[in-house]
Amino acid sequence: MNTHFLSNAPEALATGALALLGFVRRQPSHGYDIYRQLTQSPELRPVWRMKQSRLYALLARLEEAGLLTATSEPSDGRPPRKVFHLTEAGAVAFAEWLTQPVAQPRDIRLEFMLKLYFALQDGGETAARLVERQRAVCAGWLVDKESAADAPFARAVTAYRRAHVRAIGEWLDELQP
């Protein structure tokens, strides 16, 4: 399996690509179905937007990496559509991605939210495990932000980061059942 693009790509690419696996894990889908779910879902629209061309490029890369396979499906008077199926390697990659906490506070807004979206589809146990793991990582962020800064601007930045991380922690606490 070639996952080179996942490990060396920018975080947003890896997140977007791996999150797309969540749309085909329960049932095979063609690209436009996935695109409609992204653009028409009142839950996902405020969190994640993707151009259709980018979606198709990521699906092709996931197929290239062996995380998806595609079959051709006839379409009335149009070229055949590619229907994407999750491979065993894709299922493993998605499951690993789903339960891993994000590494940086800035990743909460997109990556963690996408993980939470799919974890809640799996039910309370998966979501609770994700939230608990994220809470532990968040506690470490607070420790990292405790250093004292000398310059006024540096103190302001440190105070902002501490407040941001505390707010994330409080929000994660609210997610616990």
What digits encode the pLDDT tens for the residues 62-90? 999 999 999 998 878 888 889 999 999 99
Q: Which of 80, 99, 118 is the last residue of a domain?
A: 99
Listing DSSP states for 52-121 in one string gives HHHHHHHHHHHHHTTSEEEEEEEETTEEEEEEEEE-HHHHHHHHHHHHSPPSSGGGIIIIIHHHHHHHHH
Please say whether the beta carbons of 37 and 50 come within 8 A: no
Tell me the pLDDT tens digit for each residue of 107-138.
999 999 999 999 999 888 999 999 999 999 99
Looking at the structure, tell me whether residues 117 and 164 fall in a common domain. Answer: yes
Looking at the structure, tell me whether residues 127 and 173 fall in a common domain. Answer: yes
Domain span at residue 75 reads 1-99
Looking at the structure, tell me whether residues 146 and 90 fall in a common domain. Answer: no
Count the domains in the chain. 2
State the DSSP code for 11: H
